[in-house]
Structure 1
């Protein structure tokens, strides 16, 4: 028992503090959403307006037309869909079948949203529907707390997207869950998707667990 406790204490000192482990990258060093200065966004600009305001810049106009492809500009202008809708979140790990989570239509997920296995490698994959207009600089911002203390913050630039009928999929860099007795337990998190104009398309709060094993499926 003493040996096992010592091993778990070693895990704690090596990364069992509840902090997610990921390969070092520039995006992981960016400020999280609670450190950014969010400003009110300007008036909404339609696809047609995007093209018209750049009509004198031949290279920029061609780049936007290439992004749009075969999008029907008039139909898009009349559509009532949100510009960006996050459809689902999938947790991918070699340890188990994919966990597919549907995004709530409104508000945040109720109760415990998912459980991760300690010390496991995993990736997040989002399914994103883009409608109506070009979305520039879409990025993912995530902050995690345990017992009221911030233990992880990350930001990932997803890129620029044009409207299309089929959803986009974006897979995040691989991460590793912490391990050890101090890493196990319930975490709270806040996830946002925001573009260059500071427009927020999703802002949800949820809870998840890190345990010795994956949750059993019914």
Structure 2
């Protein structure tokens, strides 16, 4: 099982080895932000920057996607790109990949990890409780998010996670995290974000609505879901 973190790339280079132009083109700088931050809020009823990114991506004309076998055959004369893909595809059984050129990413679960408490594993899609909340958090508590997902058919390039949160109709957070580029494999990947702290105080408590998306560089949305959660003074 591969377990990259927000401080690690999905493709590793040997010590002292310089990344090629092809690698630089496909790798992305990683970033992270608080999932439940209440800083920087603004009056906005939609995704804002996410929608802008989607519109920009719609104006880019991309070439046809090719199956892995075709890619390797076409790249055989480009030594730098060939080596990069061979390294990325190390351990991939090409006989089981098939001819489907479209990468398929299935988000299996999102886990909320909090010190001194059992991990809260949320299956996809989220199942709300009787009050309609997908989960409940205590204010001023430390947590990390962990994603579990599988990749099949082809390499997924530039997979990114976005999360937008609103409180009483006001957007209070818009997170974007570049997860990286992943090759197809049977075992699921896990990816952990850096530890954050939920906001504290009476004004931070209450009901929140959120929208989570996983999108790749080709603009394909592998998951989009809206849900509600709450922040309380104490754990439920």
TM-score bucket of the superposed structures, by smaller chain: 0.7 to 0.9
Q: TM-score, normalised by structure 2?
A: 0.72
State the Cα deviation string for residues 150-193 of structure 1 (Å, max 9, x = none).
Answer: 00011111111011111110001211111111111110111111
- Confirm or deny that 1:125 pairs with 2:142: no
Per the alignment, residue 192 of structure 1 pairs with 213
- Confirm or deny that 1:206 pairs with 2:227: yes
- Confirm or deny that 1:39 pairs with 2:58: yes
Count of aligned pairs: 187
Distance in 2, matches of 1:62 and 1:142, equals 34
Q: Which structure 2 residues correspond to residues 130-149 of structure 1 after superposition, within 5 A? A: 130-149=151-170
Q: 1:81 to 1:42 in 2, by over 3 A?
A: closer
Q: Which runs of 5+ in 2 are unaligned?
A: 1-34, 40-47
Q: TM-score, normalised by structure 1?
A: 0.77
How far apart are residue 59 of structure 1 and its match? 1.7
Distance in 1, matches of 2:136 and 2:105, equals 27
How far apart are residue 35 of structure 1 and its match? 3.2
- Confirm or deny that 1:77 pairs with 2:94: no
Distance in 1, matches of 2:117 and 2:111, equals 12
- Confirm or deny that 1:151 pairs with 2:172: yes
Distance in 2, matches of 1:112 and 1:153, equals 20
From 29, 37, 45, the counterpart of 1:20: 37
How far apart are residue 19 of structure 1 and its match? 5.8
Q: Which runs of 5+ in 1 are unaligned?
A: 1-17, 23-30
Q: Secondary structure at the match of 2:76?
A: coil
Who wins on radius of gyration, i.e. which is larger? 1
CA contact (8 A) 2:102 2:154 kept: no
Give the RMSD, CA atoms, in angstroms.
2.5
Q: 1:148 to 1:109 in 2, by over 3 A?
A: farther
How far apart are residue 70 of structure 1 and its match? 2.7
Distance in 2, matches of 1:102 and 1:158, equals 20
Distance in 2, matches of 1:212 and 1:204, equals 26
CA contact (8 A) 1:21 1:175 kept: no
